[in-house]
Amino acid sequence: MDHGAEAVDVRIDDPESLRDAFAGATAAFVMIAPGLIPDSTDYAAYQGRVISAHREALAGLPGLTRVVSLSGWAANYDGASGPVWGLRRLEEALDTLPGLEVTHLRPGWFMENALPMVEEIRITGTAHGLIPADLPLPAIATADIGAVAADLLTGRRAAHTRTLELQGPRDVTLHEVTAAIGRAVGRPDARYVQIDTATMRDGLLAAGFSPHMADGTTTMTCDVAERRIAMTQPRDTETATPTTFEEFLARVIN
């Protein structure tokens, strides 16, 4: 707000409401929000409504020249389902908008995914998850995604490809993530324990997820764990972002 932002209350599945919010814009940042509705019983239907509404709202909008979408690395996988089912569909819908420069950001594994591990390790010394401890993950801080999006939206950065698979400065494993968190919270003996799909699903149900969302979230995580969701572009000057996991951790813990 201090930099001139204006908040507008809209229904993100209502094209007229969105069109009013986008009125006067020369560039638009588009995403499927919220990224997760734990008690949903038909999340794909919700995503479909949001995608359709955004496509209709942006079509022919006076003055609009540039669109940046927040997609994800799951869009690289044709069979992506669960909470990430709509990412490829969002891209495809925006690609049909005539006369616009459209760029899709496909970031990898959010560093913020590790935040629940911080308290778990602080309290118990152990973190649990479905992804193997030694699987290299293209970890990225969400602040870096925002910086890339802002540069594209303002024209400070030119997109040389329609999709950018943003992936941080280097891959990290959950073994490394656990060790870094352990050092930061005074648990040098911290360890990571891999769980199975049934345990993950049961935990999500206990946390209030509907069976539909528990199944979808578990399937999505399996797709990462078994490398069906993976990067296809190299890490280079176009796709690498600067924040290391250690730098991210220092910001969120201190």
Output the average pLDDT for the chain: 96
Residues 6 or more apart whose Cβ sits within 8 Å of residue 198: none
Q: Give 190-213 pLDDT, tens digit per residue.
A: 999 999 999 999 999 999 999 999
The pLDDT of residue 5 is 82
The whole domain housing 158 covers 15-253
The pLDDT of residue 1 is 59
Instruction: Provide the number of structural domains found in the chain.
Output: 1
Distance CA 105, CA 107 (A): 6
Task: Say if 5 falls within a structural domain.
Answer: no
Other CB atoms within 10 Å distance of the CB of residue 82: 21
Task: Say if 43 falls within a structural domain.
Answer: yes
Task: Say if 67 falls within a structural domain.
Answer: yes
Whichever domain contains 247, its CATH number is 3.40.50.720
Q: Give 132-167 pLDDT, tens digit per residue.
A: 999 999 999 999 999 999 999 999 998 888 999 999
Is residue 3 very low, low, confident or very high in pLDDT (cuts 50, 70, 90)? confident
Task: Say if 240 falls within a structural domain.
Answer: yes
Yes or no: say if 68 and 163 are a contact pair by the CB < 8 Å rule. no
Yes or no: say if 71 and 29 are a contact pair by the CB < 8 Å rule. no
Task: Say if 2 falls within a structural domain.
Answer: no
**Residue burial 180-195, b: 16+ Cβ < 10 Å; e: rest:** bbbebbebeebbbeee
Q: Is the dihedral of CA 207, 209, 210, 211 positive or negative?
A: negative
Q: Give 91-123 pLDDT, tens digit per residue.
A: 999 999 999 999 999 999 999 999 999 999 999
Task: Say if 3 falls within a structural domain.
Answer: no
Task: Say if 4 falls within a structural domain.
Answer: no
Task: Say if 190 falls within a structural domain.
Answer: yes
Distance CA 92, CA 86 (A): 10
